[in-house]
């Protein structure tokens, strides 16, 4: 089985490359330097050359604040690029998987979001990702869209690595206590994605189970690291974020579970991640 991964230089792309190689798939990874997903001719050329069974798109412009100032780039990479990939995948009957985000929702619910809840993004990042979802399904109805949240993986810029750094060098840190979501380890997302290769197409919410606030997430990291750094809870308003974030973006896993796929609790995933990072860094 041949799998193409676009956005292979990112933390999820790297995780999927390793996972599928270990599972015995022939994996063809493309970083943004190797394949510009906004160049339809290059996508066509690549698919014709490789003739993959699966195409997984992890490429995205995910810097929330930068999306607000570089709107064209956000819509191009998060909207038009996935559309081109879906069009070419359909043309060659390649199974297409596209990674999306909790930011397609407004964060105003007080219970987990279901797959069929109406998207209502509040940021350019969320709007561009929602456009990507809509265009993908319009172009290729039998695509699978995977929405995830609060993602962290090895060799990536993410919340866990930021908190780890602060825990080593700062006496205290301020972390938002009134935004809730599901931290998700790229390894666990990858394992679930592998299971979804053989499941019915559609939209799936895929995160580790359970939920927490950013403050609880940070506290768990600092506690695990046995750091003396004090984690101070602050409100979103006090913290003063440049771009609004969803206040509540917990994603329901009911549909995923009913298809026989489940992910462990976020704390278990986090502990394994931190232990592995420790081992790799020789601590």
H or E element, residue 267:
helix 266-280
Long-range pairs for 270-279: beta carbons < 8 A, 24 or more residues apart: 270/160, 270/183, 270/185, 270/217, 270/220, 270/221, 270/224, 271/224, 272/185, 272/187, 273/152, 273/153, 273/154, 273/160, 273/185, 273/187, 274/160, 274/164, 274/221, 274/224, 274/225, 276/154, 277/154, 277/164
Q: Are 67 and 128 in contact (CB under 8 A)?
A: yes
| Cα–Cα distance measured from residue 213 to residue 93, given in angstroms and rounded to the nearest whole number | 41
- Strands 212-213 and 180-181 come out as antiparallel
Tokens (6 digits) for 53: 């069974």
Backbone φ and ψ of 181, nearest 5°: -165, -165
- Phi, psi (deg, nearest 5) at residue 222: -60, -40
125: annotated active-site residue: yes
Q: Which residues contact 63 (CB under 8 A, 6 or more apart)?
A: 125
How do beta strands 144-148 and 95-101 pair?
parallel
Q: Considering 125, 152, 180, 273, which one is annotated as catalytic?
A: 125
List the structure tokens of 85.
């990939």
Residues annotated as catalytic are 125
């Amino acid at each position: 089985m041949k799998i193409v991964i676009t956005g292979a230089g990112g933390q999820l792309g790297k995780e999927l490359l390793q996972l599928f190689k270990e599972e015995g798939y022939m994996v063809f990874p493309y970083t943004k330097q190797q394949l510009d997903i906004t160049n339809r001719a290059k996508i066509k050329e690549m698919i014709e050359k490789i003739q993959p069974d699966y195409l997984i798109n992890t490429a995205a412009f995910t810097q929330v604040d930068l999306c607000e100032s570089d709107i064209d780039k956000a819509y191009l990479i998060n909207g038009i690029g996935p559309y081109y990939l879906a069009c070419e995948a359909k043309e060659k009957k390649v199974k297409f998987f596209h990674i999306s985000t909790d930011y397609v929702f407004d964060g105003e619910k007080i219970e987990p979001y279901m797959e069929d809840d109406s998207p209502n993004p509040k940021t350019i990042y969320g709007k561009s990702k929602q456009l990507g979802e809509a265009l993908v399904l319009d172009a290729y109805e039998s695509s699978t869209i995977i929405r995830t949240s609060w993602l962290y993986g090895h060799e990536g810029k993410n919340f866990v690595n930021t908190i780890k750094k602060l825990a080593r060098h700062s006496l205290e840190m301020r972390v938002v206590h009134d935004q809730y979501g599901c931290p998700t380890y790229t390894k666990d997302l990858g394992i679930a994605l592998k299971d979804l290769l053989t499941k019915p197409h559609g939209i799936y919410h895929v995160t580790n189970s359970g939920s927490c606030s950013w403050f609880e997430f940070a506290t768990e990291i600092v506690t695990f690291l046995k750091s003396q750094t004090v984690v101070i809870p602050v409100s979103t308003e006090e913290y003063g974020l440049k771009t609004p974030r969803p206040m509540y973006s917990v994603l329901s896993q009911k549909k995923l579970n009913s298809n026989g796929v489940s992910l462990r609790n976020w704390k278990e995933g986090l502990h394994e991640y931190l232990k592995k990072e420790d081992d790799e860094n020789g601590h």
